[in-house]
Amino acid sequence: AAGGALAVVINSATAKVLIGKAIIESTNGNVVIEAANTEKMINIVGSASAAPTGKASAAGVLIVLISDTEAKVNIADGASVTAHKDVQILANTKSTLVDVTLAVSAGGSTAAVGATIAVNILKHKANITLGRVTLLSKAGDVIVATNGEDVSVIIALAGGASKGTGISGTIPVFVT
C-alpha cells in the first residue's frame, strides 16, 4: 500500500510608492511614506497508508512554499518633503511561513516507510531610492529605513511501523 501528498504554494508580491516631481508638506503633523508587504502562508499536509499482513507500506509528503516579495519606495526628481513633526520614508517586508507535514505508514510483516520533505524558500527585498530630495523636519526626526522580518517554521513528523522493518525520516530545508 502506498500513500502520498504534494503541495506547492508560490506567492509573489510587490508594494511600490513612486513620487515624481512633487512637494509633500504637513504643517501640523507627520509625513509618512511607506511601502509594506505582509504575508502569512500556512500549509498542513498529511499522508497515511496501511498494508495487510505480509505486504509493504509507504507514505510520503512533499511541501514547497516559495515566497518572493518586495517593498519599494522611489522618490526621484527634485521633490521636497517637509513636516512639522517626523518625516518617515519606510520600506517594510514581513513574512510568516509555516509547514506542518505528517506521513505515517503501517506494514504487515515486511516493511513500512514514512517520509516527509518540507522546503521553505524566501526571497525578500526592501528598497528605498532617493533622488534629489530635501527631507526636513521642523520639530521631529527624519527616518529613512528598510525593515525585513521573516519567520519560517517547519514541523515534520514521519513514522513507519512493521513487524519487519520500519523506516521513517524527515528533511526540513530552509533557503533564503
The mean pLDDT value for 121-132 works out to 88
Task: Output the pLDDT for position 56.
Answer: 86
- For residues 52 and 57, which has the higher predicted lDDT (pLDDT)? 57
Instruction: Give CA–CA dist 84/140, Å, rounded.
Output: 7
Q: Which pLDDT score, from 0 to 100, does residue 110 have?
A: 84
Rounded to an integer, what distance in angstroms lies between the CA atom of residue 15 and that of residue 36?
6
Looking at every residue in the chain, the average pLDDT score rounds to 89
